[in-house]
Amino acid sequence: MIPKKSTILFQGDSITDCGRNRDAGATPNNLPGLGQGYAMMAAAELLSTRPADGLRVFNRGISGNRIVDLYARMQSDILNLKPDVLSILIGVNDTWHGKNPDWSNGVAIPKYERIYRDLLNEVREALPNLKFVLCEPFVLRCGVVRDDWVEEIDQRRAVVAKLAPEFDALLVPFQSMFHEAVKLAPPEYWAPDGVHPSAAGHHLMAKCWLEKTASF
């Protein structure tokens, strides 16, 4: 279980951001600042079931971010908040931005791994007692997603799975979770464009995140 009085920080791209109000984000546990997705849903469950535990939850996801963008704002959006638990979901834009000819600024797998590891090392050096929660990047086979996306995201998943034991991190298997979910309903039900989850998809993610972090 996440210890009492912990500060929990959700980091990532639009899937984590999910419409959060930037102006409200400076205050922990602020509903507009938590967005409308899995981060808010997980926070709501924690805060409603543990009202006396003094938990503080922040969301600093930013739509469109790649690993290099997250690294660039490490000081302001991670270290300055001094989290006890840092949850990271990053990687889909590193692929998507390389597949879209209008952007052409994806991040190759070796660089993704190198920058991700640098980020974790520098955060651990600054905050030695922090616990990492590393979430699998994922896509579903619908919407904008093509087969070549799936192969590349699988490589990014492998990077995250390798980093998790290196940093004694919990690994949250979002892609594996969605593989099971599509046996119950088509991919579009869970993520209409193949990238951004529906309400049902976000709820599954929150449940999965909470189940894994219960082992702290």
Interval 155-176: pLDDT, tens: 999 999 999 999 999 999 999 9
Q: What is the mean pLDDT of residues 125-145?
A: 97
Q: Is 193 a catalytic residue?
A: yes
Give pLDDT tens digits for 89-104.
999 999 998 877 777 7
Residue 82 has pLDDT above 90, yes or no: yes
What sections of the chain are H helices per DSSP?
A: 14-17, 31-34, 38-49, 67-72, 74-77, 92-99, 109-126, 147-166, 174-181, 187-190, 199-213
Does residue 189 fall inside a structural domain? yes
Token pair recorded at residue 93: 């834009």
- What's the confidence (pLDDT) of residue 3? 95
Token pair recorded at residue 204: 């599954």
Q: Residues of the chain with pLDDT > 70: what percent?
A: 100
Active-site residue identified among 53, 69, 154, 193: 193
Active-site residue identified among 14, 17, 84, 87: 14
Does residue 1 fall inside a structural domain? no
Give pLDDT tens digits for 28-65.
999 999 999 999 999 999 999 999 999 999 999 999 99
**What is the span of the domain harbouring residue 209?**
7-213
- In sequence order, the β-bridge partners of residue 171 are 134
Please provide the average confidence, as pLDDT, over all residues in the chain. Answer: 96
Which stretches does DSSP call E strand in 48-89? Answer: 56-59, 85-89
Does residue 118 fall inside a structural domain? yes
d(CA 52, CA 47): 9
CATH at 167: 3.40.50.1110
Number of domains in the chain: 1
- What's the confidence (pLDDT) of residue 101? 73
Query: Could you tell me which of 156, 150, 138, 122 has the C-alpha nearest to residue 205?
Result: 138
Quick one: which H or E segment has residue 12?
A: strand 7-12
Active-site residue identified among 6, 87, 196, 202: 196
Q: Is 97 a catalytic residue?
A: no
d(CA 142, CA 195): 9
- What's the confidence (pLDDT) of residue 191? 98
57 three-state secondary structure:
strand
Rounded to two decimals, the pTM is 0.96
Token pair recorded at residue 118: 């640098």
